[in-house]
Amino acid sequence: MTEFDLIREIIPGLASNDQVVVGAGDDCAVLDMGDPQSLTLFKTDAVVQGVHFEVSTEAERVGHKALARCLSDIAAMAGTPVAAVVTLGLPLNFDPKYILGVYAGINALARRFGVAVVGGETTRNEGGIIISVSLLGSIPRGRLLLRSHAKVGDAIFVTGKLGGSLSGKHLDFEPRLAEGRWLAENFKIHALMDISDGLAGDLPHILRASLVGADLLSDAIPISREAQLRAKAGSAAKPPLLAALTDGEDFELLFTLPSRLAVSVSDAWRIQFPELNLSCVGRVTSLPGLRLKSKMGTKPMPQHGYDHFAQSE
């Protein structure tokens, strides 16, 4: 059973109540807590020693990543983060200085984005360090962006450049909070999410939720310098395009909007965020599935992203 198979088995039986606007299945849960101006966003994520970081990884970078993963999901809903709690699972022989370093990384990022760290839990875990962050955020009513509203004919965009996260980006990435809010405030975005499991792994979530398909243009995929350098460094590395499509932990934004707005959003983006790349990488289609188009033709592309339960991972 894959990670996503397991999630699909769990979701139908989850308890709910009248305050749930959007439950499991999007980047954040969305709750109506009675505020006439806004909805509440709720997200949790974890980083695990040996999976998301190594024991030799600098503590501050681990803390940064632990909170940044949740912040990226708030960005993927065009929201504003508010407050976090942190749960630590630690082995008996943990190094207190290392854990204080983790918190230094968490707090530095939290202060930058106005997030309060308001508590948490500590517990014993003999398998190594686990850091789980739960984060509350807010979104103005009427501005909520989900994965499920992509329309046939939409242009598909990604921010930044993709692939090569293992070169260090996965520890130092910048959550695209300002970018997500700006998109929601200024353009009719149909669907939005962040890229955590690779473009080829995450775009199908939008396609399934919206009951559409998509064509990606191989020449338009923005490939990071790190992916290109890793390919040059050794034969064991993925080809750059494959890395850009399938490497996890890019944490860039992926969105769709009406194709008539593609030039407008590109032009406005260059003025608003001149240091950050924005690429139109494809088009939403009525034909189900995901395809990659190149000079050599068009071929189907199965979902291929990071899976925590894949035997090869």
- 120 and 177 share a domain? no
Within-domain flag for 232: yes
CATH assignment of the domain containing 204: 3.90.650.10
Within-domain flag for 195: yes
- 24 and 119 share a domain? yes
Q: Which residue among 117, 140, 163 closes a domain?
A: 140
Within-domain flag for 145: no
Mean pLDDT of the chain: 93
- 12 and 55 share a domain? yes
- 250 and 162 share a domain? yes
Within-domain flag for 240: yes
Q: Which residue among 88, 108, 140 closes a domain?
A: 140
- 112 and 202 share a domain? no
Residue 306 banded pLDDT, cuts 50, 70, 90:
low
Residue 4 has pLDDT above 80, yes or no: no
Structural domain including 134 reads: 3-140
Strands of the sheet with 155-159, listed across from one edge = 191-194, 253-257, 155-159, 278-285, 213-217, 289-294, 297-300
Q: What is the reported pTM?
A: 0.93
Average pLDDT over residues 165-182: 93
- 115 and 168 share a domain? no
Within-domain flag for 313: no
Q: What percent of the chain has pLDDT over 70?
A: 95
The model's pLDDT over 28-43, given as tens digits with 9 standing for 90+, comes to 999 999 999 999 999 9
Residue 303 banded pLDDT, cuts 50, 70, 90:
low
Average pLDDT over residues 225-245: 82
Q: What is the pLDDT of residue 312?
A: 42
- For the chain, what is the HEC assignment? CCHHHHHHHHHHHCCCCCCEEECECECCEEECCCCCCEEEEEEEEEEEECCCECCCCCHHHHHHHHHHHHHHHHHCCCCEEEEEEEEEEECCCCCHHHHHHHHHHHHHHHHHCCCEEEEEEEEECCCCCEEEEEEEEEEECCCCCCCCCCCCCCEEEEECCECCHHHCHHHHCCCCHHHHHHHHHHCCCCEEEECCCCHHHHHHHHHHHHCCEEEEEHHHCCECHHHHHHHHHCCCCCCHHHHHHHCCCCCCEEEEECHHHHHHHHHHHHHHCCCCCEEEEEEEECCCEEEEEECCEEEECCCCCCCCCCCCC
- 185 and 279 share a domain? yes
